[in-house]
Each structure stands twice: as C-alpha cells, then as structure tokens.
Structure 1
Amino acid sequence: MVLAGLIDLGANFQRIKEKLLSASKFVPNVEQLEINCKKVVKNGINATQISFSFEETLKHRHGKDVLSIMKKITTHFNWNDYKKALALNILNTLIRAEAIIHGTSEELVHLHEAGSIDTIFDIVGFILACQDLQLLENCTWISTPVAVGGGLLNFSHGIVSNPAPATLEILKTKEFEIVGGPVESELTTPTGASILVNLIKNNIKFYPPLIIQSIGYGAGTKDFSKIPNVLRLIQGKEPTLSPYNFEKIITIETNVDDITGELLGNTVHKIMETGFAKDVSVIPMTSKKRPGYLIQILTNYEHLMPIIQLLINELGTLGVRFFPTMRYTLNRKIVSLPIQVLNKNYNIPVKISWDSNTTIIQTKPESDEIMQLSKKTGVSMRKLLQIINKEIESKFQIGQKLNNSVDF
C-alpha cells in the first residue's frame, strides 16, 4: 500500500516496474512475475492498487539469503550509501523481529511471508518510488498513530490475534502509539511497520503546520464495510513564516527544592555531557514550602527518556513534565578568525549567525579563548576585544550577505 500510495502521489509506475523486473533475476526460484497497477474505488475513495503475481517454488528463505538478495539489488541499481543503508535497515528490522519471535538467529530464521519476492519488492519499490519523487534526502516523514486493526490473522504458523507478533515487535522499537480496530483484519503488516520505523522518529496525533502539495491513496486488496482500505500519503511543505529556521522540539521540566548546589551543578554537567540537550536552564522559584529551582531542558523527542532517567537518578525528583515546543532559530557556525597581537598570529573562534536569506544577524567571539589569549600575551581582554571586533567587522558585517568564499 505504501508503494501504491507513492505512485498515486505521482511516482512513475512504468519506470518503477521496469526496474523491479530487471532486479527479479537476483531472486531465485521465481517465475512468471507480473506487476500490475490499476485505479480502484474503496468506499468512495479513488485510489491506486499495486499487485504482484508470480510462481515461487521455495516455501521459505533464511534471513541471510534474503539479505544477500537485497545487497545484490542495491548494487545493481548503484544506489548511494543512504539508499543502500535504508533498504538494508528496513529488511534487517523485519528479519530481527522474526528472529526474536521464533527464538533463533537472524541468519538462520525461516522467513515465509517475509522472505517472499513481494516483500523484497515492497521495500525496493518503495525506495524507487521515493527516489522518483525526491522524498528521501532532505525530507521529513511524519505519521499519525498506527492503525493495526484487530481480530484474528491466518499466517504460515497458524492463527494469531492481530496485529501480527512481528508487527508488534517492530513497532516496539520506536515506542510508537498504536490504535486498534475499527475492523477485524490486519491493517499494518510487518513490512509496512519496518518501513515506518526506519522513516520517522515518532508519530503524532495531529498534523503539523503544513502547506499541502499533493495527496496519494494506496489501496489494499481487502474490502471493508466500515472504512476505505487505503493508506493516505500527504506531501507538503512547512509554511515559510519568517526568515528563521522552524524547529519542533521537546521541553522537559522538573522542580527541585531539596538539593545542594553541587548536586545541581553536577546534574547540569551530566545532561550537557550526553550531547542530547540543546539548552539547559536553572531558574530560581518558590515551591509550596521553600525556595527551589526549575530545571528546564530543550531536546529532540528521541532523547526524551534518557534525559528523564538522568533527572530522576541524579536528583531523586518525583515527577518530570514534558511538552512539545516550537521555536525559530538562526543558522550558526563557528569560524576561525586570524588576528595579530604583538606581531604574532593567532586564531580566535567566532560564532557567526545568519538567517535563511544568508543575512548576517550576529557575530560573537568565544570568550573562553579570548581569556586564554589574554593570559598568554599579557594584553587585556578589553584591548583584545577591540582588535577582534575590528577584524570581525572587516569580514562579517551585520546586515550584509555571507561571503561565498567562506566555507559554511
């Protein structure tokens, strides 16, 4: 359904079909392969449906065999490192889940449905379609909570309840929110789940700010009375509201009123040492009984739990709040600025900040380096700042465009 949705979004089916057929020679024991695309209507929704028909003489493949096939296909297409890694990561996610469920190694696990050519081509076709639409590099994928369906599922080892064990194992790796129902059928397959967890960092309940550019509907083979059996893909761009970078992050907060300054300083140091925090603030406040501190951390969603664990372990806090935060930021980079002091050459790191129009907004030399240079040369920090700022103004004037000769 993902591949069908991408074709409905505008990917060239004929081009993708030709490439898939050219790669079929790497999948042994498969004959009479046909790939078809047609428009269908599912409960009033016009959608695209993709189907694979083939004769396959093998009942299963081992994990190592399927990986070998995928490596040959990625080499055949001469994919760059990113596309190769994505294809292999999706497949490895699937194999790893199956191995865990069956209690065996990833190399020797027997893959029945997961080892079939249509699974391999679902992954390869997905990457080919994304490549056709330029939706891989420089693209952010977002998902709402994953609909997994319900009822019972008939598969190679018998009957189990939906979702399939491998699907649950895969979704567990990213702590995605899932939603059961509203039909008694499988709505998310292990292959679809593997693609999903390798594309997105987390799922969200509501759409983010978005300017819609195109919509694609990929249809499944089943028909449901209550809902259209389609996967909806929406392609869009973030609204350009300002010349600054829009960023969606997480704010983490906790209140403490029973720790020493040494413990607090050590905690802040450990948080910064993880490399997960974008910013840490310690704000004096008054609690119900006595003065204390509000500790506030800005970070990305994927670093939420490690930071919460650190706060609880180090501070013994009884609760931690977190909530989504949106902010605008400037582009920034530290450049090495050559200066001359007492007829000797030195390099001082200077932070340059600019907006999306490449207009310089701020320049700031690193104070720690200036202090060290002051000690080394015996020249006052005030005098050094005059020398440095004069040099900065000659190269990076606020309000002017960045010089293309500078490597940013």
Structure 2
Amino acid sequence: MDVGVTLEGMRAELAKIPLAGYSLEAKRVTKGGLAAQRAIVSVREPQSPRTLADVKAVIAKSSLPSADRERGSAVFKRLAKAEAAVHGETVETVHMHDVGAVDAMVDVMGTIAGLRLLGVEELYCSPLPSGAGWAQGSHGALPPVAPASTSNPVRGNQRGALPSSSSSGCSLRE
C-alpha cells in the first residue's frame, strides 16, 4: 500500500465488486528492518466454498474495467486448474475453499486494481519457496507450500529471481 495506492482508493476499487462480509484496513509494520503499510482483509463470517463459475460470476458482476475482470477471471481459472489437479477433479467441479473465499477474491482483485492504478504493465515472480513445517487450511494441516501451489498451472508463470512469492502472485502473471 506504500507504493502509491491509498487505502481509500483501494476501498473504492473493491466497492465495485459485489462482495460483502469483509473489511479492509491498513497497518504500519516493520519487516526485516523496513517499514511498510500492510493491507489486512478481515472476513466477518465463514464462507461457503465456491466453484470457478461462482467466482467468475462475482467478477463479471463487478463494475471494474473489463481488463481487470478478464485478468481476474484468468487468475482464478489458473488457480482452479491447480486445485483440480491436486484434488483429482475437473476445473468445473472443483470447489475452491481457500482461493474462492472472499479474502482471496479481495486479495487478487485488489492486486489487479492496484497494479492498474500504478500503471504496472508486467509482473514477474520468482520460484516458490519450499518452506518447512505445516500450515492450517480448510483441508487440515498442509505443507507451507500448498499442493496446488506446486502444480504446473501456477508454477509455469514463474520468472526471474525474487526473495519469495505466492501461488496467487504467480497466477497473476500471464
């Protein structure tokens, strides 16, 4: 949020998406000795899992620019392909528990809107870190890099060498 997109500006962009039950706040943090503003998405109630069609319907109903809607749909299609691959389902039937949730939709669509507001035309990401230990998700304890993050639909978008990245970030790269 410190690179030129204001909290109010981001809230205005996200208000164009027909999503309810969340709030967006900003908090000053220091990470590795560097000060930054962190965006925090809080969801007020548990969410039902969504299919790709559900997610794309929400995006299509938004009043974001068509390029943002197209990019958002493409990101979630890549994420659905990754989820389907690890769960042995089809893209049409897989339920995207974590990546279809309101906070994930706010993260992805907010990132896309923010990149547009900043005039960013290309995005690069590094190979995903492998990490250690376990993280809790809707499917229980998983390795810190979720199985969907290691699948080809997501990993195929990696470029360059940056300190770290996420599966959603790699999916933003076409």
Question: Is TM more than 0.5 here?
Answer: yes
Match of 1:173 in 2: 156
Matches within 5 A, 1:304-383: none
Query: Partner residue of 1:303?
Result: none
Kindly indicate whether the alpha-carbon contact (under 8 Å) linking 2:155 and 2:170 is maintained by their aligned counterparts in 1: no
Q: Which residue matches 2:13? A: 19
**Considering only CA atoms, is the larger Rg found in Structure 1 or Structure 2?**
1
1:191/1:143 Cα in 2 relative to 1: closer, same or farther (>3 Å)? Answer: closer
Matches within 5 A, 1:130-149: 130-136=115-121, 140-149=122-131
The corresponding residue for 1:91 is 76
SS at match of 1:39: strand
Count residues with an aligned counterpart: 173
Distance 1:66 1:176, change over 3 A: same
Q: CA deviation at 1:176?
A: 5.6
Greater relative contact order (Cα < 8 A, sep 6+): 2
Distance in 2 (CA, whole Å) between partners of 1:67 and 1:191 is: 16
1:173 to partner: Cα distance: 2.5
Instruction: After superposition, give the CA deviation of every residue in 1:26-82 in whole Å (9 maximum; x if it has no partner).
Output: 23xx43x21101211123111121111122343312221111111212xx12x14x4
Are 1:40 and 2:29 matched, yes or no? yes
Alignment match, 1:55 = 44
Return the match for 1:160 from 132, 142, 148. 142
Q: Does 2:8 match 1:8?
A: no
Whether the aligned pair in 2 keeps the contact of 1:38 and 1:49 (CA below 8 Å) is yes
CA pair 154-132 structure 1, distance change in 2 beyond 3 A: same
Contact 1:148 1:178 in 2 (8 A): no
Q: Which amino acid in the other structure matches residue 95 of structure 1?
A: A
Rounded Cα–Cα distance in structure 2 between residues aligned with 1:40 and 1:175? 28
Q: Describe how 1:8-407 pairs up with structure 2 within 5 A.
A: 8-23=2-17, 26-27=18-19, 30-31=20-21, 33-73=22-62, 76-77=63-64, 79-80=65-66, 82-136=67-121, 140-169=122-151, 170-174=153-157, 188-195=165-172, 197-198=173-174
- Larger strand percent: 1
Matched residue SS, 1:147: coil
User: 1:263 — aligned with what?
Assistant: none
Question: Structure 1 pair 166/176, CA: closer, same or farther in 2 (3 Å)?
Answer: farther
- CA contact 1:39–1:46 (8 Å) conserved in 2: yes
- Cα distance in 2 for partners of 1:22, 1:192 equals 22
User: Tell me, which stretches of 5 or more residues in structure 1 are unaligned?
Assistant: 1-6, 199-408
**What SS class does the counterpart of residue 90 from structure 2 fall into?**
coil
Letter in 2 for 1:153: A
TM-score of the superposition, structure 1-length normalised? 0.39
CA contact (8 A) 1:64 1:106 kept: no
Distance change in 2, residues 1:71/1:152 (3 Å): same
Output the CA distance in 2 between the equivalents of 1:88 and 1:146. Answer: 22
**CA spacing shift, 1:150–1:20, aligned 2, 3 Å:** same
Kept in 2: contact 1:151–1:161 (CA 8 A): yes
Q: Percent identity?
A: 24
The two structures have a TM-score, normalised by structure 2, of 0.84
Gaps of 5+ in 2: none
Aligned partners of 1:147 and 1:178 also within 8 Å: no
